[in-house]
């Protein structure tokens, strides 16, 4: 009976682990709570390879584009333009859903969780930009800081591109690193169903459903918004000649992993592998996807807007046009400025709450359901970045097409 389970595609094994974990967490909470170390070990194992993957992938991507600054500029412009367009669309969806359903009207104001102590309510922009320039790149990598690693990898890739033949041995080393990292990714993700089972069992055993029932309207509206975002992404894919269902199926594994672990970062190596398996341009994936994971969080941004308007209505704040405009502007800025700070999502919401005159303590009202909301919005972050890669490939694909295929055998990805 066990052998047929292991013959199932990995995506179905993940879904089975998710459902079984949910059941165990609800029916046997003590046992479910004890499974947390298994899920934690898996997440730490994936985080172990994220920084090497980001550094090697971005460096190689910039190396391959380094001699074509027009290509690089076009890829960057399309990527950043889409990121900001997606941000505004996500915010508007959140605001429109609140206007249609008013989930905050009459909502209970009892705290369902705790707000982190000393939570920042603004971004120190000087510190933000200074932190992007690492004085010690090894220390920045050791601390899992994505943005400083991105900056260094971009500079390192451009430097290798301009160094001629002397840089070729380093390129070969980086290709070997990528091959090894994707091999390790395959080993780790083969254990994903077990880890997802453990994570879901722990989550539902410790969080329970009482707060979800109390704030059911917010949870329901949030997931309706995520469904609308998926529909918009599908329309975008159709418009550029892609098959939405095929693309969704191809990235289902990283999406399920994001949903269960609530971490976009954990899905990055597997997501890159799946995009390469789909035939996406090596250079585009290597540049756009790490940038997207740092700056393009569509599901999270939609939640920011919805959470702020939910709390505003719960506290009786009138949402005038000027207030709504403030929410749009501050959310857009905060979502990018909090990308490199601890508890970035909470910082972004706190900044918007401060801007419209609400107490930061209001976050405690929705903190109890945040884990359940985080699951869906993290999965949508992954899908949104898939769409970003496809759009850049469509509009910069001819210019950024790979001149040569990667030589490292490990980069010829096969389905796990």
Check if the beta carbon of residue 53 is closer than 8 Å to that of residue 181. yes
**Sequence-distant (≥ 6) Cβ neighbours of residue 56 within 8 angstroms:** 174, 175, 177, 178, 181
CA distance 62 to 159: 9
CA distance 259 to 377: 8
At 191, give phi and psi (nearest 5°): -95, 0
User: How far is Cα of residue 261 from the mean position of the Cα atoms in its chain?
Assistant: 11
Residues in the chain: 416
DSSP string for 124-178: -HHHHHHHTS-S-HHHHHHTT-HHHHHHHHHHHHHHHHHSGGGGHHHHHHHHHHH
CA distance 394 to 210: 46
Q: Would you write out the chain's pLDDT as a tens digit for each of its 416 residues? A: 445 555 678 888 988 999 999 899 888 989 999 998 998 899 899 889 989 998 999 999 888 887 676 777 888 889 989 998 999 999 999 999 999 998 888 777 776 777 766 666 666 778 778 888 888 999 989 988 888 898 899 899 989 988 888 988 999 999 999 999 989 988 998 899 999 999 989 988 887 666 777 788 898 999 999 999 999 999 999 999 999 999 999 999 999 999 998 888 889 899 999 998 888 888 889 889 988 888 888 988 999 899 999 988 888 888 888 888 888 888 887 777 655 555 566 777 888 888 888 888 888 888 778 888 888 999 999 999 999 999 998 887 655 554 444 433 343 433 43
CA distance 253 to 192: 9
CA distance 59 to 174: 8
Neighbouring CB atoms inside 10 A of 331's CB total 26
Say which DSSP state 115 is in. P
User: How far is Cα of residue 39 from the mean position of the Cα atoms in its chain?
Assistant: 18
* pTM score, whole prediction: 0.84
User: How far is Cα of residue 21 from the mean position of the Cα atoms in its chain?
Assistant: 23
Token couple for 266:
């954990």
Domain 10-398 matching CATH 1.10.3860: the answer reads yes
At 212, give phi and psi (nearest 5°): -65, -40
Token couple for 330:
């501050």
């Amino acid at each position: 009976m066990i052998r047929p389970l292991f013959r199932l595609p990995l995506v179905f094994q993940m879904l089975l682990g998710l459902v079984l974990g949910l059941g165990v967490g609800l029916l046997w909470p003590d046992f479910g709570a004890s499974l947390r170390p298994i899920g934690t070990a898996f997440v730490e194992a994936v985080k172990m390879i994220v920084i090497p993957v980001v550094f090697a992938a971005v460096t190689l991507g910039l190396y391959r584009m380094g001699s074509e600054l027009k290509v690089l500029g076009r890829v960057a412009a399309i990527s950043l333009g889409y990121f900001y367009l997606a941000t505004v669309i996500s915010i508007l969806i959140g605001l429109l859903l609140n206007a249609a359903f008013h989930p905050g009207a009459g909502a209970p104001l009892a705290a369902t969780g705790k707000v982190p102590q000393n939570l920042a309510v603004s971004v120190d922009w000087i510190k933000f930009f200074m932190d992007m320039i690492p004085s010690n790149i090894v220390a920045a990598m050791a601390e899992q800081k994505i943005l400083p690693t991105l900056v260094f990898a971009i500079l390192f890739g451009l430097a290798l591109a301009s160094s001629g033949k002397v840089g070729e041995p380093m390129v070969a080393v980086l290709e070997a690193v990528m091959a090894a990292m994707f091999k390790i990714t395959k080993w780790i993700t083969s254990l994903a169903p077990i880890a997802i089972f453990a994570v879901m069992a722990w989550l539902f055993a410790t969080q329970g459903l009482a707060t979800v029932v109390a704030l059911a309207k917010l949870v329901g509206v949030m997931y309706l918004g995520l469904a609308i975002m998926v529909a918009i992404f599908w329309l975008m894919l159709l418009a550029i000649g892609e098959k939405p269902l095929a693309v969704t199926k191809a990235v289902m594994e990283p999406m399920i992993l994001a949903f269960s672990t609530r971490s976009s970062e954990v899905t990055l190596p597997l997501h890159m592998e799946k995009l390469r398996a789909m035939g996406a341009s090596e250079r585009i994936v290597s540049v756009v996807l790490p940038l997207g994971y740092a700056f393009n969080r569509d599901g999270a941004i939609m939640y920011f807007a919805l959470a702020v308007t939910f709390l505003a209505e719960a506290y009786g704040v009138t949402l005038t046009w000027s207030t709504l405009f403030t929410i749009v502007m501050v959310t857009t800025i905060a979502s990018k400025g909090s990308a490199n700070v601890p508890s970035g999502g909470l910082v972004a919401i706190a900044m918007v709450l401060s801007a419209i005159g609400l107490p930061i303590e209001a976050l405690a009202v929705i903190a109890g359901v945040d884990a359940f909301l985080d699951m869906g919005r993290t999965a949508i972050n992954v899908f949104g970045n898939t769409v970003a890669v496809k759009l850049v490939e469509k509009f910069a694909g001819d210019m950024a097409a790979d001149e040569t295929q990667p030589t490292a055998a490990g980069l010829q990805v096969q389905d796990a």
